[in-house]
Amino acid sequence: MEQDRIDAGPAGLRPGADTPAALETRRRIVETAERLFRQFGYQKTTVADIAAELSMSPANVYRFFASKSSITEAVARLLTGEIEEVAHAAATQPGLSARERLLGVIRATYRATVQRYIKDQRMHAMVHAAIDENWEVVKAHKAVILGILTELIREGIAAGEFRVEGDPAVAARCVQMANIATCHPLIIEHCLRANEDLEEMIDPMVAFCCRGLGAQG
Amino acid sequence: MEQDRIDAGPAGLRPGADTPAALETRRRIVETAERLFRQFGYQKTTVADIAAELSMSPANVYRFFASKSSITEAVARLLTGEIEEVAHAAATQPGLSARERLLGVIRATYRATVQRYIKDQRMHAMVHAAIDENWEVVKAHKAVILGILTELIREGIAAGEFRVEGDPAVAARCVQMANIATCHPLIIEHCLRANEDLEEMIDPMVAFCCRGLGAQG
């Protein structure tokens, strides 16, 4: 759509929309949208609702976001960014071995995902839409998590904890794929609905991955 | 629903519906349904369409299946059964090491899944419905694949190829989870739509899993 094209680009900004005041307004729109999505559901929330909540006209919201879909994308970025922060904090926790930090990353990501997307039934529709419509956000999120895992594995190799032949980035991709079940909202949702306990698999899976990374013991 | 309960149970059979002739009719209904789902799409195919294709009355089809949902469940069982056969054949291929057979299982499962569910756009809706509505079929399928992997890992341990501490069934569950991306239709669909090449990850992932199973080299 023409409107969506205007709002495209990595920063998702329209030309001239990057003044501090404009960025602040965008931030408020996105945070308000997220709150309304949680409160009333993604489908039922309209741009007019978001505008009303901010005492703005819908036309003013459209000055910052070309469509509801652009707002949804920004909400998806906000949520994936929060998960990335949680993962990064666990990956760089001081005083822990690479193995312990890997366990921390997987556990923290799982819990943050469950808390943000799964426990809140009203967020399911938004997550499905985000995954179905916003490939770029999902792709960027996976790349950030892959970067965090690659760095952690490099540190583990440097510390003599891991012995990886070949590219650490490929090993990181294996670790990331191996743990999809506990970080992909749709898989988590399916497993929980099927009464499968995913959390009990985190410890054995991380131990398995560490052996895959050449850790001894 | 009352109607669905009548048709429940492991074999999905109504009382007295297990004579050879009845089983043959059920088989023809399920195969016809699968063909029509592929040809016209799952949503557009009605029980009346299936009946007409078989020159039966809809009432006669309802003698064998309580609802379209029961037919869908049987189609899902047919498809997962085919994947299970492919996986079992690869797992028991003579003259190969456990490692080679594990690679064979993952590769064959991936290719069979892509061929059956992914390439055929019309099957997507059915797969989504099957996964969303038929937890029991999906659960049973996962249990069968887990059994195949557990047996394969036990054989690898017995042959001295793998060195697994603890329960081989837990190791098998790790291998199964680690390879979700290449056997779960929804994940495959998402990755292909995001232009990610999953097949190139099968070799490194199986090598990673073999290290996780204590294989040397």
Each residue of B80-136: pLDDT tens digit? 999 999 999 999 999 999 999 999 999 999 999 888 777 777 777 777 777 777 668
Helices then strands, counting H and E runs in chain B, come out as: 11, 0
Is residue A161 assigned to a domain?
Answer: yes
**Same domain flag for B76 and B131:** yes
**Same domain flag for A24 and A59:** yes
**Same domain flag for A78 and A157:** yes
Instruction: Extract the tokens encoding A14.
Output: 């329209």
Are B135 and B78 spatial neighbours (Cβ–Cβ below 8 Å)?
A: no
The mean pLDDT of chain B is: 87
**Same domain flag for B43 and B107:** no
Instruction: Assess whether pLDDT exceeds 60 at residue B53.
Output: yes
- Closest chain B residue by Cα to residue A131: B190
**How open is the CA angle B146-B152-B156, to the nearest 5 degrees?**
140
Q: Are B177 and A201 a contacting pair at CB < 8 A?
A: yes
Instruction: Extract the tokens encoding B158.
Output: 């017995």
**Same domain flag for A78 and A149:** yes
> Which chain A residues have a beta carbon less than 8 Å from that of B174?
178, 201, 204-205, 208
Is residue B17 assigned to a domain?
Answer: yes
User: What number is the average pLDDT over the span A150-173?
Assistant: 96
Comparing B189 with A167, the larger pLDDT belongs to A167
How confident is the model at residue A1, as a pLDDT?
36
Give the number of other CB atoms < 10 A from CB of residue A192.
14
The model's pLDDT over A201-212, given as tens digits with 9 standing for 90+, comes to 999 999 999 999
Comparing B73 with B151, the larger pLDDT belongs to B151
Last residue of a domain, one of B40, B68, B96: B68
Last residue of a domain, one of A67, A101, A117: A67
Instruction: Assess whether pLDDT exceeds 60 at residue B10.
Output: no
The model's pLDDT over A76-93, given as tens digits with 9 standing for 90+, comes to 899 899 999 999 999 999
Q: What is the phi-psi region of residue B45: left when phi exceeds 0, alpha when psi lies from -120 to 50, beta otherwise?
A: beta
Interface of B with A (CB under 8 A): 131, 135, 138-139, 170-171, 173-174, 177-181, 184, 186-187, 190, 193-194, 201, 204-205, 208-209, 211-214
CA A95 to chain centre: 26
Last residue of a domain, one of A45, A67, A89: A67
Among residues B123, B142, B116, B113, the alpha carbon closest in space to that of B39 is found at: B123
**Same domain flag for A175 and A139:** yes
Q: Domain with A77 in it: what CATH number?
A: 1.10.357.10
Among residues A130, A113, A118, A141, the alpha carbon closest in space to that of A33 is found at: A130
User: What number is the average pLDDT over the span B72-82?
Assistant: 90
Looking at the complex, report in whole angstroms how far the Cα of residue A169 sits from the nearest Cα belonging to chain B: 11
Is residue A217 assigned to a domain?
Answer: no
Q: Rounded distance, CA A93 to CA A192, Å?
A: 29
Q: What is the ipTM of this complex?
A: 0.84
**Same domain flag for B94 and B49:** no
Task: Give the position of tokens 């976001």.
Answer: A65
How confident is the model at residue B15, as a pLDDT?
58
**Same domain flag for A52 and A127:** no
Q: Residue B211: which of A139, A205, A212 has the nearest Cβ? A: A212
The DSSP string of A132-171 is HH-HHHHHHHHHHHHHHHHHHHHHHHHTTS----S-HHHH
How confident is the model at residue B6, as a pLDDT?
39
- Closest chain B residue by Cα to residue A185: B187
How confident is the model at residue B14, as a pLDDT?
59
Residues 6+ apart with CB under 8 A from A41: A122, A125
Q: For an interface test with B, which of A164, A208, A210, A216 has the most B Cβ atoms less than 10 Å from its Cβ? A: A208
The mean pLDDT of chain A is: 87
How confident is the model at residue B16, as a pLDDT?
60
Helices (H), B92-167: 98-113, 124-133, 135-158
Are A75 and A29 spatial neighbours (Cβ–Cβ below 8 Å)?
A: no
Q: Rounded distance, CA A210 to CA A197, Å?
A: 21
Q: Residue A194: which of B139, B171, B201 has the nearest Cβ? A: B139
> Which chain B residues have a beta carbon less than 8 Å from that of A181?
177, 180
User: How many separate domains does chain A show?
Assistant: 2
**Same domain flag for B11 and B107:** no
**Same domain flag for A56 and A134:** no
Residue type at A205 in one-letter notation: M
Are B71 and B65 spatial neighbours (Cβ–Cβ below 8 Å)?
A: yes
Is residue A9 assigned to a domain?
Answer: yes
**Same domain flag for A51 and A106:** no
Instruction: Assess whether pLDDT exceeds 90 at residue A163.
Output: yes
Q: Are A212 and B208 a contacting pair at CB < 8 A?
A: yes
Q: Rounded distance, CA A184 to CA A167, Å?
A: 25
**Same domain flag for B98 and B205:** yes
Q: Domain with B6 in it: what CATH number?
A: 1.10.10.60
Is residue A206 assigned to a domain?
Answer: yes
Is residue A90 assigned to a domain?
Answer: yes
Looking at chain B, how many residues does it have? 217
Instruction: Assess whether pLDDT exceeds 70 at residue A134.
Output: no
Interface of A with B (CB under 8 A): 131, 135, 138-139, 166, 170-171, 173-174, 177-181, 184, 186-187, 190, 193-194, 201, 204-205, 208-209, 211-214
Is residue B24 assigned to a domain?
Answer: yes
- DSSP assignment letter at A114: I
Q: For an interface test with A, which of B139, B177, B210 has the most A Cβ atoms less than 10 Å from its Cβ? A: B177
- Closest chain B residue by Cα to residue A139: B194
Structural domain containing residue B55: 2-68
- DSSP assignment letter at B66: S
Residue type at B105 in one-letter notation: V
User: What number is the average pLDDT over the span A2-31?
Assistant: 68
Are A198 and A110 spatial neighbours (Cβ–Cβ below 8 Å)?
A: yes
pLDDT band at A41 (very low <50, low <70, confident <90, very high): confident
Q: For an interface test with A, which of B124, B138, B174 has the most A Cβ atoms less than 10 Å from its Cβ? A: B174
Q: Residue A187: which of B139, B180, B193 has the nearest Cβ? A: B180
Q: Are A178 and B177 a contacting pair at CB < 8 A?
A: yes
Are A102 and A206 spatial neighbours (Cβ–Cβ below 8 Å)?
A: yes
Q: Rounded distance, CA B125 to CA B208, Å?
A: 33
Q: What percent of chain A has pLDDT over 90?
A: 60
How confident is the model at residue A17, as a pLDDT?
64
Among residues A143, A163, A134, A26, the alpha carbon closest in space to that of B211 is found at: A163
Instruction: Assess whether pLDDT exceeds 80 at residue A193.
Output: no
Residues 6+ apart with CB under 8 A from B115: none
Is residue A91 assigned to a domain?
Answer: yes
Q: Residue B170: which of A139, A173, A204 has the nearest Cβ? A: A204
How confident is the model at residue B1, as a pLDDT?
36
The model's pLDDT over A93-125, given as tens digits with 9 standing for 90+, comes to 999 999 999 999 999 999 999 887 777 777 777
